[in-house]
């Protein structure tokens, strides 16, 4: 018996094929988000970049556990379920939000506040079985506090307002960034949040700069103040994070957490290993 697990963020999807608790295949495709991609776009990617690697196993896979960004509404979950069923023809498909993947990977069967800090951000209060509270994530325009997209957006705002220190502005432009290039990517190209998150790669290269340190602190502080602190008896629980931003800035995030009265729990880069353990 084979089980397929998928953890899909806005940037990439990790697919793991399990036979009992043994990993048979680990495949990566682009990320999926039904708010930004159509049924046909998702189906095409799966057909071209997943199915060929699963060809010899597809008729033997009994269950797919799919956790995805944007799978927070009935309509979006249905869209993914129908697309996956039509494309992969797996008998049983469970579609859940990527926030549940984070909670299961981070907290297993314990209470805690589970957070995603990657391209986007989200959080929840988890009781070891279910998500019982969630401060809704409203995307890169109004939310995604502490995420790569917010870090990129804050930095670009300082660039456009001519508030960057001269050395940072010069280094930024030397890497090919300019007003027109940024505006075209944000307003004309698909998945602007992914583009904004790429700016955070430049920020990471200069993370020791005092200006950058303050910018990062402000982003992570907004995450705790606008998301984490709002859960019932929030400071009673450890805060755990999954995602590249939480992982690469874990020391600074731990400081911001302490300043806001929280203790950090587990910090991991990807939930897939935790999900393998959970579903094994």
Question: CB neighbours (10 Å) of residue 23?
Answer: 14
203 Cβ partners below 8 Å, 6+ apart?
Answer: 151, 152, 155, 212, 215, 216
pLDDT digits (tens, 9 = 90+) for 26-52: 999 988 888 878 888 888 999 999 999
Distance CA 186, CA 251 (A): 30
pLDDT digits (tens, 9 = 90+) for 99-114: 899 999 999 889 999 9
- Record the pTM: 0.78
1 Cβ partners below 8 Å, 6+ apart?
Answer: 19, 20, 60, 62
Q: Which CATH class is domain 2-101+273-279?
A: alpha beta
Distance CA 90, CA 155 (A): 44
What is the per-residue DSSP string for 41-73? HHHHHHHHHTHHHHTTTGGGEEEEEEEETTTTS
Distance CA 177, CA 110 (A): 45
pLDDT digits (tens, 9 = 90+) for 186-204: 787 777 777 888 888 889 8
């Amino acid at each position: 018996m084979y089980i397929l697990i998928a953890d899909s963020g806005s940037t990439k999807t990790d697919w793991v094929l399990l036979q009992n608790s043994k990993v048979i295949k680990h495949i990566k495709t682009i990320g999926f988000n039904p708010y930004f991609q159509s049924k046909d776009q998702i189906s095409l990617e799966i057909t071209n970049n997943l199915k060929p690697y699963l060809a010899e196993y597809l008729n033997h896979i009994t269950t797919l556990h799919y956790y995805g960004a944007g799978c927070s509404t009935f309509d979006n979950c249905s869209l993914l379920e129908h697309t996956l069923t039509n494309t992969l023809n797996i008998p049983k498909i469970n579609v859940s939000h990527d926030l549940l993947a984070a909670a299961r990977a981070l907290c297993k069967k314990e209470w805690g506040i589970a957070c995603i800090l990657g391209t986007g951000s989200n959080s929840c209060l988890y009781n070891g079985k279910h998500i019982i509270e969630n401060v809704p994530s409203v995307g890169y325009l109004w939310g995604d506090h502490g995420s790569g997209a917010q870090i990129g957006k804050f930095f670009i705002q300082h660039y456009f307002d001519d508030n960057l220190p001269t050395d940072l502005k010069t280094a930024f432009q030397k890497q090919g960034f300019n007003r027109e290039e940024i505006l075209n990517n944000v307003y004309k190209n698909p998945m602007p949040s992914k583009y904004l998150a790429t700016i955070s790669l430049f920020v990471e290269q200069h993370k020791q700069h005092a200006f950058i340190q303050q910018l990062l602190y402000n982003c992570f502080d907004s995450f705790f103040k606008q998301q984490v602190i709002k859960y019932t008896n929030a400071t009673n629980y450890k805060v755990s994070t999954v995602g590249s931003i939480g992982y690469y800035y874990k020391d600074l995030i731990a400081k911001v957490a302490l300043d806001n009265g929280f203790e950090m729990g587990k910090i991991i880069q990807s939930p897939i290993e935790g999900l393998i353990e959970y579903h094994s």
